[in-house]
Structure 1
Amino acid sequence: MMNSLLGTTILQAIAFTGAVSTVPVSLDGKDIPHPVWHHMAMPSETVPMTVPAGMTAYLNGDRIEAADAFIAPEVSGTYSLEFRNLDDEREYKVALFVLEPSDRVDAEGRLNGFRMGAYPEKTPRGFIRLDEGYGDINVSPSFQIGQFLCHQQPDHWPKYLLISSDNLKRLEVLLDALNRDGITDADTFFVMSAFRSPFYNTAIGSARLSRHMYGDATDIYIDVAPKDGLMDDINRDGAINKADADFLYDYAQDLFANTKEVPRGGLGSYKANAVHGPFVHVDGRGRSARWGR
């Protein structure tokens, strides 16, 4: 297994947001929205790219000679894709995930021992392979890949998962606005639940077509003051309850409705139970969906 992207802390990732070219780099026709980002490709797949004049791309430290495409490595794993300016300063750092093809899931529904199960429909083409020790890889300025792991087989490696670029864009916009408005000073959200394998999704009795199975759903809350595993009192009424989840829900709904180019998706508000505190569901399903308010 070839895993050579060194983990970058969240604070380091935010520090990269300095001098970025006014012309964005694109991969597969999509602009990279942040100086720290991610991309997924199949083994040996040709990845089209656009690199502005004066900028050079590097894959695992080796310069990519072509300016319009590169070939993804043939071995599934995590790689480093960087774009540097004429002064050899890094302007974009991309975690390149070469996916483990889904046709490698065996007859028992396992992928290298990880219990994936079977998708009821629309089986993804592949999954991110994450080996032990690589959970601190940044996939956006404020989030690391380890935050999105499924809560199963804690001692088993490698683990497999999916993430959603559209949902990460939504999360980054939401976190930035909350900080800008002085509601929190959180570096990230606490991600209570993100990717779920079909096996795990069935085991916990979740919806048959849950977006969590496709990596584009996250259950989140703000946990900073104090950092205690529960939602903060963000509505400042002296209590921590569903009113805080509703506050975050309402804030996110208004923000997404009034912010241009934010991908469409779902929002849900949930009360506490015996297992967890209040939280908000955010997903990037591509259409508006609202519940729980």
Structure 2
Amino acid sequence: MICAYSTPAPRRRLRELVLGLVAVLSALPAAAASLTLASLAPRPLPAADAGFSVSWGGEHSKLSVNPLLAGAGQGVTLQVHGTVTGGFELDAGAGTVQRLAPGRWRWVAPGKAGAYTLEIRRHDGASMRFTALVTLPRQALRGGMLNGYLIGDYPSHPGGQKAYEPPAGFVEINDRTADLPLTPRLRLGQFVCKQEATGPRYVALRERLPLALEAALDRFARAGIASSGLTVMSGYRTPHYNSQLGDTRFSRHQWGDAADVFIDEDGDDRMDDLNGDGRLDQGDAQLLYRIVDAAQSDPDWQRFTGGLSAYPPNAYHGAFLHLDTRGFTARW
């Protein structure tokens, strides 16, 4: 099991900071430069419970906004759970919808990659929205490039574990789609890789990651740490960029189910003093670590099982929490 970084955190983060700065200062179009910076700050929407629960694929949620990923032409079944009283309807702006039963539909994604919206509405006005992201297939990669964007080659895991198979598809992020909400408090652009690019970027993303981060925010609030959102310091990394950082070869960031995050309510780009000891140090990240780690015993959290670590601050960044949903427990 690989569950530790091979490069010391301060050196690795310094390299990431420098690479990100180079990307911003390079002669990029304005939209591309602003997209790189979009990953640094949350722009929260009001957190909300839809008032009913829906399952799709291997996920389920009560959130008012959710991510849904599908390949072009792929069918996805959406099911309202609980007692389905009154009328529910599914409105899709694109693709086709087949009603299977009350509160149950099959949506077939459009044949063109892109971002679409689905909405399930109850007769009383309650609704749940999905940001439906239709991916470009992995087979579209040519020499490690996807429409001019360098992805690189995914490493072959010696154990042959399914969790390390290359992503099936990639989501395009551009200046129009960066602000799309994935959950009430997380946006698509927050997960963009920081490597230099002159056009649209592409990310691997698993729906479970933003759902887990949103659930973590709720856990923090129950523990007395209210936050309007999370700053995602590092989300997706292409294998090429991950290699540039000198990070471990099998970093979960490359598979789109890992994020390095912190809470920054005062806007200084560093983790806040969450434990109230008057210091900005690893103790603040450790507090978040303990809250998430304690959630492992809750059946509602167990689908988010994965890696967890609390990192200290250095001269270039504040403390942060690494969280991933790899499917098995890893701590370091």
TM-score tier, shorter chain, comes to: 0.7 to 0.9
The residue number in structure 2 matching 1:17 is: 49
Asked if the contact 2:91/2:120 (under 8 Å) is kept, the reply is yes
Give secondary structure in 2 for the equivalent of 1:147.
Answer: helix
Relative to 1, partners in 2 of residues 1:61 and 1:90: Cα closer, same or farther, differing over 3 Å? Answer: farther
1: CA distance between counterparts of 2:177 and 2:211? Answer: 22
Aligned AA for 2:130?
Answer: V
The residue number in structure 2 matching 1:137 is: 180
Matching residue within 187, 207, 215 for 2:256: 215
Give secondary structure in 2 for the equivalent of 1:10.
Answer: coil
The correspondence of residues 233-248 of structure 1 with structure 2, limited to 5 A, is 233-248=273-288
TM-score (norm 2): 0.76
1: CA distance between counterparts of 2:108 and 2:134? Answer: 11
Shift of 1:96: 0.5
**2:231 is the alignment partner of 1:197:** no
2: CA distance between counterparts of 1:29 and 1:199? Answer: 29
Asked if the contact 2:89/2:121 (under 8 Å) is kept, the reply is yes
Shift of 1:29: 5.6
The residue number in structure 1 matching 2:37 is: none
Relative to 1, partners in 2 of residues 1:90 and 1:81: Cα closer, same or farther, differing over 3 Å? Answer: farther
Determine which structure has greater relative contact order: mean sequence separation of CA pairs < 8 Å that are 6+ residues apart, divided by chain length. 2
Asked if the contact 2:54/2:60 (under 8 Å) is kept, the reply is yes
RMSD: 2.1
Kindly provide the CA deviation profile for residues 30-58 of structure 1, in whole angstroms up to 9, marking residues without a partner as x: 43342210111110112223355621111
**2:102 is the alignment partner of 1:73:** no
Asked if the contact 2:97/2:108 (under 8 Å) is kept, the reply is no
**2:309 is the alignment partner of 1:274:** no
Asked if the contact 2:94/2:109 (under 8 Å) is kept, the reply is no
The residue number in structure 2 matching 1:152 is: 195
2: CA distance between counterparts of 1:81 and 1:147? Answer: 21
Bigger shift: residues 52-61 or 229-238: 52-61
1: CA distance between counterparts of 2:99 and 2:243? Answer: 45
The residue number in structure 2 matching 1:177 is: 219
Larger helix fraction of residues: 2
Aligned AA for 1:178?
Answer: F
**2:101 is the alignment partner of 1:60:** no
1: CA distance between counterparts of 2:76 and 2:320? Answer: 37
The residue number in structure 2 matching 1:6 is: none
Matching residue within 199, 204, 229 for 1:188: 229
1: CA distance between counterparts of 2:175 and 2:201? Answer: 8
Relative to 1, partners in 2 of residues 1:90 and 1:78: Cα closer, same or farther, differing over 3 Å? Answer: farther
TM-score (norm 1): 0.86
Shift of 1:65: 4.5
The residue number in structure 2 matching 1:28 is: 57
- Aligned residue-pair number: 272
Shift of 1:211: 0.4
The residue number in structure 1 matching 2:68 is: 39
**2:327 is the alignment partner of 1:286:** yes
Aligned AA for 1:55?
Answer: F
Unpaired segments ≥5 residues, structure 2: 1-42, 157-164
Kindly provide the CA deviation profile for residues 6-37 of structure 1, in whole angstroms up to 9, marking residues without a partner as x: xxx6325x2x535x23xx33223643342210
Matching residue within 55, 74, 79 for 1:50: 79
2: CA distance between counterparts of 1:187 and 1:30? Answer: 24
Aligned AA for 1:227?
Answer: G
Sequence identity percentage: 33
